[in-house]
Structure 1
Amino acid sequence: MSNAFDQSKDYYETLEINRNATDEDVKKAYQRLALKFHPDRKEGGGDSQKFSDVGEAFDVLSDPPKKAIYDKFGQEGLKEGVPVEPGFNGAWTSKYAYHGDPEKTFRQFFGDDNLFASIYSINAPLRYGGMRPGLVKPQDPPIERDLLVSLDDLFYGCTRTIRITRKVMNDDGLTYSIKDKILTIDIKRGWKEGIRIIFSKEGDQGPNIVPADIVFTLRQKSHPLFERQHNDLIYKTKISLEKALTGFPLDVPTLDGKLIGIYVYDIVHPAYKKIVTGEGMPLSQDPSQRGNIIITFEILFPETLCAERKHLIKQALKC
């Protein structure tokens, strides 16, 4: 591929600017020509093809990465992709194709859903690369992410830090930089799965939009000993049929590392549950209060019984 500038479509010529034009020049040129060639222009002069060409030229020259490729490799390099800098394992840039909707480009620039008609119905001056005073900027849809936490983290509480990368507008209000930011989430004791933590307007910035909210939804990892049920913890244990009928001692673990000794005197049937009060999850509204541990039992029946044992069991159960 030659580095010579591809003359098949000259975006600078389309916008009637020279190759040394600034970002501000690009914005001004697009504003003027988009209004001139818009198909809905009532005074005449509208031209759908030129309107589309102007939109494509602006889409490229207003985006620094696209503009850099176009300036060096022309339209061919932009649309076919070019090798990334050495040391990137032979990677190529993405192929560019204009989305083909010049009205979308127009709307994004002027920030007005009513497009051309409303532009000429309001006498307020236009600001290139921005919206007219009084118009409400649309907000990008929220960016949704899951936040996985352990049951222990929800029991004790913890702090999580998350690094995000986003576009931040420069002081000129036209260009942007890519910057990192650390978001801090304080996970409170007793929080439940499904809680949403919202960071308002922390998404990509743009000249005609309100940045999106970033929303993290709490998701609980599975635990080897417990299942959570609201503020209670379900603890499952296996016992023999003998223990189920005659009683037995049991050590019950807790999330804070204790072993609580209890004795089960009752006959344990399949629906039987034993409750250890006040040893479950802390209540988020009042962490000094806690739910319960609910013990459920899986009874292990013998696979076979000899005739003598069957007889003894029958005799024992007659009482």
Structure 2
Amino acid sequence: MKRDYYEVLGVSRNATKEEIKRAYRRLALKYHPDKSSDPNAEEKFKEISEAYAVLSDDEKRRQYDMFGHAGIDSQYSYEDIFRTADFSDIFHDIGFDFGFDEIFKKFFGGFERGFEKRRKGRDLLYSISINLEDAYFGTEKEIEIERNEMCTECNGTGAGAKSKIISCPICNGTGEIRRTERTPFGHFTQITICNECKGEGKIIKNPCRICRGTGFKRVRRKIKVKIPKGIKDGMHLRLEGEGDAGEKGMRPGDLYIEINIKENEKFMRDENNLITIKKISYPEAVLGNEIEIETFEGKEKINIPPGTQSGEVFKIKGKGMPSLSKKKGDLIVKIEIDVPKKLSPRERKLIEELAEEMNIKMNKRTFSKYWRK
């Protein structure tokens, strides 16, 4: 099982690019197989290099932070991970006079030629907003997405009828352009994708009239998404095979559904518990009463004992949110004593009598002035 990339490099999840680079430079010097006596140096060097290649690339890091290793492994091959990483200045700084393409060949088996490589389809991300009640009961939503699907005119080849496919004369069919520069530290080889054939190694003389040689067509599709009860805000659902089509027969990508749960007027969620505020009158707080509490499944009754204070909480077991493991949380009822802002003459008289009974001295001038408003 792969370790967390941040843990591998020994940096925090909010580390800057420079901090990530410094961490990799230190570890590369420590574990380079030609310099280290550690018997596991080669494996450790592979591990730290992969972690740096992902975390030093903004898009790959975003995918990793969102989906973890699954987001990288499902979308990128080893070649994809390392192709955009810039290791040259790091290796020069620590005294190694070669480019990373040589290291990749030695430890990872080298890059594949562009036209031999076929990529799976790109994963897609779609955000859905639902109500807390939807998260409580579970629901089904229909969404509309736009994605690449295989062109049915050319069956994804990109070639028109009777079109010739020739080897690219610029890269000689490799899909890559190599440029070697001599530096004070030795020869440095840079590999880039051939712009003429876009890394395919082959050129289509007469592209498909529908997809213009891409092998794809842009299509809008409606998809039904089942949202399980108990889902939490920020969770992602994975719909396998519902992303972009893959290149030339490779499997399609996946569609990730990001769940956003709107705030609810009556309930606040705390993990699998629900919290609600219930206002009661002063007489109910003093004398106690049986009161009704609203839940998503109807009304529940609870007993308020005499002398209940504002801020006290009561728990109704099993009436909170369901969880994905089927066990429900509790409903937490927080009591607030509702102090009236207006009183009838009789109510005011009774309150004054109660104050006298309790030996509470009232400033009648202030009291009368306030209640005349």
User: What's the TM-score once normalised by structure 2's chain length?
Assistant: 0.43
Calculate the TM-score normalised by the size of structure 1: 0.49
